[in-house]
Amino acid sequence: MPEDPRYSLAELADLAGVTPRTVRYYLASGLLPGVGQPGPGAKYGDDHLDRLRVVRRLQREHLPLAEIRRRLADLDETTIHDLAHPDPVDLPTDTALEYVRSLLGPRSISAPVPPPATSAPSRSQRALIPAPEPLGDEPSPTTMTIERSQWERVVLAPDVELHLRRPSSRTQNKRIDRLIAIARELLEED
């Protein structure tokens, strides 16, 4: 029967992406089960690594350690292992640019595409160049889309900022104001 892999404190911390000090703190606070032999020769198993990975995952969801401890207490080792090793997620095939454009929506300004620069037209050639047509609802094939926006920086607390793209609709402005109020209230609780 193969033996369960055993890790030193430094190896465990490195595999989990935390510091050895963090592992010691989690042991002391009950987030990780103790080992039979404490001290420099202590060896940790895959169950410790799985728990550390689940703790890190729950921390990314902004859960406090007390809530994480409570949730882990209700789980068996098999469930913790499954949570530590989730099934791979199918990532969307769209590019990041396409995703951002889908979020921004149709807010764009059409501008004529300049002709390729060969040489400056003479005065008689400039007279033959037609004036640009007024922009309608349908952009012509000779126009390109230029997205223009203005960004607003809102300081929520020291070292915490929210960046907003303006202009926004009235409904969005109300939601943003509510979000800012809630965020400031949460950040002032400390």
Contact 33, 48 (CB under 8 A): yes
Q: Which CATH number fits domain 9-84: 3.40.50.300, 1.10.1660.10, 3.30.530.20, 1.10.1740.10?
A: 1.10.1660.10
Q: Is the pLDDT of residue 53 over 70?
A: yes
The arithmetic mean of pLDDT across residues 125-149, rounded, is: 53
Say how far residue 103 (Cα) sits from the centre of its chain.
15
The arithmetic mean of pLDDT across residues 162-166, rounded, is: 85
Q: Give the tokens for residue 156.
A: 């929520």
Q: 1 falls in which pLDDT band (50, 70, 90)?
A: very low
Q: What is the pTM of this model?
A: 0.46
The arithmetic mean of pLDDT across residues 119-134, rounded, is: 53
Q: Is the dihedral of CA 48, 49, 50, 56 positive or negative?
A: positive
Question: What is the structure's pLDDT at 111?
Answer: 46
- DSSP class of 113: P
Say which range, 46-60, 67-81, 90-104, has the weakest mean pLDDT: 90-104
Tokens 């990780």 correspond to: 32
Angle at 19 between CA 18 and CA 20, to 5 degrees: 125
Question: What is the structure's pLDDT at 120?
Answer: 55
